[in-house]
Amino acid sequence: MENEKKKGIDVLNILSNRTFIEEEKSFTTNHILIGNQGNKITEAGLDAVKDLLNKLYEHLPSKDMLLHQKILLDFIKFQLVNVNNANESISNLYFIENNFNNSHTINVLLTLYDELNLTKLKDELSFITKSFNGVVKRTKAQREQGLIGEQQQVNDIQKISSLLAKFYHWLIFNERDFADLVENNLLKTMIITSVIVRGKIKRDKTQCVGKCGKTYLINEKPVGSKCDCGGEIIQAPPIVEFQDISYVFPEGISEIKTEKENSPSNIFNLVSNVLIPNELLLILNRVFLGKFSQLLCIPNFSQFVIPETNDLINVYAGYNIIGEDNIFITYFVTDSRFNDSRLISSEKLPSIIKQVISDLKQGYSWKSTINNSLLKNWYITSFVPIEKLSEYDHLEHLINKDTFYEPESETPLEVVESEGDQIDD
């Protein structure tokens, strides 16, 4: 029981709907649903959640963008890992987005459940978004005809959206309708690129859990001191600072994908978008009064959709923490748009991920890890610093330039080996 308490992060389910009815004007309803064992959320915590949602909406595409945007985020699943004990994954954080016409839904879901079926969750949210859109549309038309007043409109919208939110929460936590790991996706996807990013885990920030919610450097305001607003100062959650990156891709990738999508910085953006906005973590830490201070949020699986064709891009990720603060995150990007014999079906992905993560854990270098895997015939680039990525327009430029990895020289890729075997217990 004691152990449970220490490990358990309370269940939090934030569901927010927003519909734009005119240029500037929108209807938003927020529902914060807490599980049975949940602590009460403080007032400052509630404000923080509202702040969070507003910030998240800023990232959401507007209606115009929806029409032109090529790739939209569907969902991300994160693992919360204790930095003091890398093998202990504590809780899961789900971030799901949905759009319908001019309506958006955001769901932030914090739970111990590991087995939620994301496709089903997405379908249910799509129902919620549509239904919300419908009630706003209807009340708007009724108001224009003078059938109802503003208050009635607000009430009607609130009523339906609260029913939808309660039901969603009930499905997840009471009926457990979504507890089903079998994602029945009929689309055939192919592995298109793999990426490894090296980074450092930074733990040099503190934050205020009071009204202002500011962040400070640890030297400036150490843990336990008071913020200017009177709030308590706690350790801010650790974050990953990316350093350099290496790409693995098949021969002739420029013939398979368009040039723009092949730019190394675009691929980096796609995978690093998967890292949760630092903002979200800071706010969750504020809501839960420091429970996230030692938790590193690492992406596990994410899905993007191409609205025009309903094609899917998935990013799978695995991590290795080596020593105190070195982290390696390996990403595998799969895409349903391409079907080329040079690519490998994503059906093989689970075994590839398993093998790559375990090889890296055993201290093999990135190069030999890939050479041992099914991706052995693909190109491997050496590590390029993140800030220099913009200098390259195309993945293949990374091979042509002097950074291209040549089989004779092992040095650029030896980093892992030199630090290897440390995380084995």
Partner 1 sequence: MINIDNNIEFNNLRYVPRDAVELLSEFTESYQILESQINDFIRTQPTFLNEIRKKLRGEIGFLSSRQKDIALSIYGLIVTDEIIKNYDPFNYANDISTLLDATNKKNKCTEEEFIGLITSFINSLQAVLNITDLVINNFIQFKSYDIPDDIIIMLLIRRHYYPAINEINLMFEAPEFTIDLRWVVAIFAYILEYKLEKNNQIRRVQTIGEIYSKIVKIYPLSEGEEIVTDIIYLYLIRTYIDKLSNGLSSRIDILKLSLKSETELEEETEKNMAVKSFYPKQDSSSEQIVRLIEKPIIETLEMKVDFNEDERRKLEVNIESALKRIAIEESRTQNFTNENSYNLIIKKSWMNVFEQHPQMIIPIININQYTKFVNEPKAYVKENENEIVRQLQFKIRHYIGGERMNSKSLAKAFSRLLFEILNNPSVKKLTF
Q: Residue numbers of the site for partner 1 (CB under 8 A)?
A: 100-101, 127, 130-131, 133-135, 137-138, 141-142, 145, 147, 160, 162-164, 166-167, 170, 174-177
Bridge partners, 215 (sequence order):
207
> Helix, strand or coil for residue 268?
helix
For partner 1, give the closer residue by CB, 77 or 169.
169
Cβ atoms within 10 A of the Cβ of 39, count?
A: 12
Instruction: Quote the least distance from Cβ 142 to partner 1, whole Å.
Output: 6
For partner 1, give the closer residue by CB, 2 or 181.
181
Parallel, antiparallel or unpaired: strands 344-345 and 233-235: unpaired
Contact 29, 162 (CB under 8 A): yes
Instruction: Quote the least distance from Cβ 127 to partner 1, whole Å.
Output: 7
In whole angstroms, what is the distance from residue 334 CA to residue 185 CA?
A: 13
For 184, residues 6+ apart whose C-beta sits below 8 A from its C-beta are: 119
* Amino acid in position 204: D
Instruction: Quote the least distance from Cβ 178 to partner 1, whole Å.
Output: 11
Instruction: Quote the least distance from Cβ 245 to partner 1, whole Å.
Output: 42
* Amino acid in position 180: D
Tokens of residue 418, six digits: 């030199």
For partner 1, give the closer residue by CB, 171 or 212.
171
Strand (E) or helix (H) holding 239: strand 239-249
For partner 1, give the closer residue by CB, 137 or 214.
137
For partner 1, give the closer residue by CB, 174 or 411.
174
> Helix, strand or coil for residue 43?
helix
For partner 1, give the closer residue by CB, 101 or 119.
101
Question: DSSP strand E in 83-226: where?
Answer: 89-100, 103-111, 190-202, 205-208, 215-217
* Amino acid in position 388: K
For partner 1, give the closer residue by CB, 135 or 276.
135
Instruction: Quote the least distance from Cβ 70 to partner 1, whole Å.
Output: 25
Instruction: Quote the least distance from Cβ 163 to partner 1, whole Å.
Output: 6
Nearest CA-CA partner of 79 in 70, 92, 64:
92
Instruction: Quote the least distance from Cβ 135 to partner 1, whole Å.
Output: 4
Contact 389, 52 (CB under 8 A): no
Instruction: Quote the least distance from Cβ 160 to partner 1, whole Å.
Output: 6
Contacts within 8 Å (CB) and 24+ apart, 205-208: 205/235, 205/236, 205/239, 206/233, 206/234, 206/235, 206/236, 207/233, 207/234, 207/235, 207/236, 207/282, 207/285, 207/286, 208/232, 208/233, 208/286
For partner 1, give the closer residue by CB, 129 or 189.
129
For partner 1, give the closer residue by CB, 100 or 247.
100
For partner 1, give the closer residue by CB, 39 or 170.
170
Instruction: Quote the least distance from Cβ 176 to partner 1, whole Å.
Output: 6
Instruction: Quote the least distance from Cβ 346 to partner 1, whole Å.
Output: 29
Helices (H), 232-364: 253-256, 264-272, 278-287, 349-361
For partner 1, give the closer residue by CB, 170 or 358.
170
Instruction: Quote the least distance from Cβ 117 to partner 1, whole Å.
Output: 13
For 95, residues 6+ apart whose C-beta sits below 8 A from its C-beta are: 75, 76, 77, 78, 106, 107, 108, 109, 276, 280
Contacts within 8 Å (CB) and 24+ apart, 231-235: 231/44, 232/208, 233/206, 233/207, 233/208, 233/209, 234/206, 234/207, 234/209, 234/285, 234/289, 234/290, 234/293, 235/203, 235/205, 235/206, 235/207, 235/290, 235/293, 235/294
